[in-house]
Structure 1
Amino acid sequence: MRMTPDHVSALDDILRWRRDVRHFRPDPLAPELLDRLRRQMDLAPSVGNSRPWRVMQVEDPARRAGIIASFESCNRRAAREYSGDARRDYLALKLAGLREAPVHLAVFTDMAVEEGRGLGRQTMPEALGYSTVMAIHTLWLAARAENVGLGWVSILDPAEAGAILGAPPTWALAGYLCLGYPLHETDTPLLHETGWQETKVTDWRIV
């Protein structure tokens, strides 16, 4: 299939409006929508076709509460790394939508995956984890195209989160994702709006 200028324009819109969403409406996401997102995640590339990502959709209230408690504990510890105005600014940030988002997805990398038979990982074994990140990014763009917001929660202890969710020991947490319809539509990153930091252009060098 040959892509057209319309495809280029649509992709530019999706990339530009992809945001790390922290404020969600409580409206549920339809099962058929989630199924479409899963199928689009299946299209993500992976090293050696290993497809190491594993997804848990977290519905159990006790497990969700455990994840929220873990986040809040880790967030308090992170705040202690700042002082003065920086601590005040950090504490003012909304860094997760765990209580509001209707869908929680925990995405893991299966470090013992047999698929791919190690192809492409002999010199860069970390490519296995990169593959999971590619799958998350594919899901992120697919969600944006459906007008669904995604927030990536990284302020978690991976081992504690895995224990809360009952993940197998060979699964390493890559990201805990909140999905739902955004409370506000904006093409401006939250960290820009709060004055935390502007985005720099890519350091792209010819060598």
Structure 2
Amino acid sequence: MSTKDDETESPFELQSASPFTVEERDAVYRAIFTRRDVRGEFLPDVVPDDVLKRILTAAHHAPSVGFMQPWNFLVIRDKAVKDRIGDIFAEANEEAAAMFPSERQKHYRSLKLEGIRTAPLNICVTCDRQRGGPVVLGTTHMSDMDLFSTVCAVQNLWLAARAEGIGVGWVSILKEDEVKAVLNIPQNIRIVAYLCVGKVEGLFSEPELQVRGWQNRMDLDSLVYEDRWGASSCAKSDDQAE
């Protein structure tokens, strides 16, 4: 049995884990459910520096395995730089269109898939895979956790931007090596996300690709298993719960 003298006080202070108020909780879910991938609705308005700082701070507070914080954020305002990235997209986009079946190529080419030139800001989010050293806590058996952590930073940025009334579009139809050359990014650094950022005219009530008939949201219940792969969960989604 330990005595009072044997006990050492923890040097760590814990904060409350109580639920948010209803209003706070609803605000979080509103940001999640109304977030959209913005492509063609950007306004030319400048994003205020204090808003940008809050968004980047939210991204920097994302979870990272081993607390390695592998991300960097390259903010791009220069029109000439954006034009060069836009050219890289245009070439890659044509290549991508040819990969789809002929009946889908026309539909694909009708979609607006980026706002590189029209967004007042572009942000390139990168991952430094060497930042934590040769052995990083939590990545010893799942080596891509640094990349996954950087994706968490992107999601934090996106949700914070939604709360600030700022639109974000993720451009993935790019040739990484060519973008690195334009932005002078070292070869050992991975580009995880190229984002178009700015104020917008408005947001689609549903994801744009769903509105434009490219794809529908999958049913949640078909994606949830219990205890083993393929075993249906006994839990029901809110839409189907009685």
- Structures share fold, TM-score greater than 0.5: yes
| 1:66 and 2:84 correspond | yes
Give the secondary-structure state (helix, strand or coil) at the position aligned to 1:80. Answer: helix
TM-score, reference length from structure 2: 0.82
Q: Which has the larger radius of gyration?
A: 2
Equivalent residue letter for 2:36: R
1:38 counterpart (47, 56, 69): 56
**Local SS of the residue matching 2:204:** coil
**Residue 13 in structure 1 maps to residue 33 in structure 2:** no
Counterpart Cα distance in 1 of 2:176 and 2:25: 37
Which residue identity is paired with 2:37? D
- Spell out, residue by residue over 1:70-91, the C-alpha distance to the aligned partner (whole angstroms, 9 max, x if none): 0000000001112333000000
> How far apart are 1:20 and its partner, in Å?
0.4
Q: CA deviation at 1:63?
A: 2.1
Give the deviation of 1:112 after TM superposition: 1.2
Distance 2:96 2:201 in 1: 26
Of residues 149, 170, 174, the one that matches 2:188 is 170
List aligned pairs for 1:10-159, cutoff 5 A. 10-23=27-40, 24-114=42-132, 117-159=135-177
Picking from 220, 225, 242, the partner of 1:205 is 225
8 Å CA contact 1:52, 1:109 repeated in 2: yes
Unpaired segments of 5 or more residues in structure 1? none
- Cα distance in 2 between the residues matched to 1:18 and 1:7: 17
**TM-score, with length taken from structure 1:** 0.95
Give, in whole Å, the separation in 2 of the partners of 1:13 and 1:130: 24
- Structure 2 residues without counterparts, runs of 5 or longer: 1-15, 228-242
Of the two structures, which has the highest relative contact order with CA contacts closer than 8 Å and spacing of 6 or more? 1
Q: How many residues align?
A: 207
Identity %: 34
Cα contact 2:86–2:116 (8 A) shared by 1: yes
Q: Distance in 2 between matches of 1:119 and 1:37?
A: 27
